[in-house]
Amino acid sequence: MPSNSFDQLMPSGLALPPGQVKEELDRILDSPDFKSTTRRRKLLRYLVEESLAGRDKGFKGYTIATIVFGRDESFDPQSDPVVRLEARRLRHDLNSYYVSAGRNSPLRITIPKGQYAPVMEWFDSTSASDDLIGHLDVADRPGPDMAPAPVSAHVIETWRFAGRSLLFWMVMFLVAVVTVTVVLLARNATTQIHGPALAVLPFKASDVSQPILGEGFSDEVLARLSRFPDIRLYLPQSALEPTADPVDVGRRLGLTYVIDGVIQSVAGSDSVRVTVRLTEVSTRRLVWIGKYERPYASGAFLAMQDDIAASIAAALGKTQADMRSHEKANP
């Protein structure tokens, strides 16, 4: 089982070498396939290095916000969710890296849900076993004129368990592949689902002091729209350019529609106004626009964000008939 304490042994009896963890961290941060912002890269380095130093038990949202993100002593994690949002996105960045460029890495760094402390663990059991042999005492290694020293029963049982586990998961993987293939073939044989391709761009925060709120709003709207089966949703990484034109982004990605928005603080009041647009990419036609204004109460930001996102998704859901008509007219 994984451990984030570097003086604790792994089940194979092999401690995670801090040097290899640092190499893996540098490999991730230097990789062009690690799609992450400068701020989240700084967060990853801080979490791993603090864990290496044995200070992972003290990870708190306030500490991370002040040290990594430069917040002052007045920072309130209840009203400013920057640490939780960035940790969630960093978790997704790492998962994406390990299914692409880092898929063959024997040592993996992950951040489990519900915590900030990273977990470092061996991924390839063969690498872990080879490293274990390299850590055998010199007296236990076979010399040139002597028979190999007997391997302990514990080590043999560890290897047997690893072999049985590997075989089991290979069989389960094959069963899953066959099942998914059969289902997809059956579905494609009967019907082919068409629907508008849509992306939600990060909202622009023009007057609000925390620009990260824009990404939070777009994430919530995207989550709400995922409940509509007739809409094909995409994650536009190229849309992270703050000055990018929404329609240009949609054309580069081959989308049917794009959603973008602006967050503004209302002058003379403690309110936030969110303006949202649904634009048809091919014609630049403004299909729908909505404005929402809510009080910006300290400690209740997430509830306000969920309320506005739900209203936006409900309004966009009503435009599905127009979207479907477009798809039928332009198959």
Please compute the mean of the pLDDT values over residues 229-234 and round it to a whole number: 78
Residue 3 has pLDDT above 50, yes or no: no
Residue type, 148: P
Q: What is the pLDDT of residues 263-278, one digit of tens each?
A: 887 777 777 788 889 9
| Phi, psi angle pair for 293, to nearest 5° | -130, 130
* Class in CATH terms, 197-329: alpha beta
Q: What is the DSSP secondary structure assignment for residue 238, as one 8-state letter? A: G
Q: What is the pTM of this model?
A: 0.40
Scored b (16 or more CB within 10 A) or e, 87-121 reads bebbbebbebbbeeebeebbbbbebeeeebbbbbb
Please tell me the distance from the alpha carbon of residue 327 to that of residue 13, in angstroms, as a whole number. Answer: 59
Between 81 and 236, residue with greater pLDDT: 81
Residue 150 has pLDDT above 70, yes or no: no
Taking the CA atoms of the chain, what radius of gyration do you get in angstroms? 25
Q: What is the pLDDT of residues 34-84, one digit of tens each?
A: 988 888 999 999 999 988 888 877 788 888 988 888 888 888 888 888 888
Residue 116 has pLDDT above 80, yes or no: yes
Domain ranges for the chain, please list them.
18-130, 143-190, 197-329
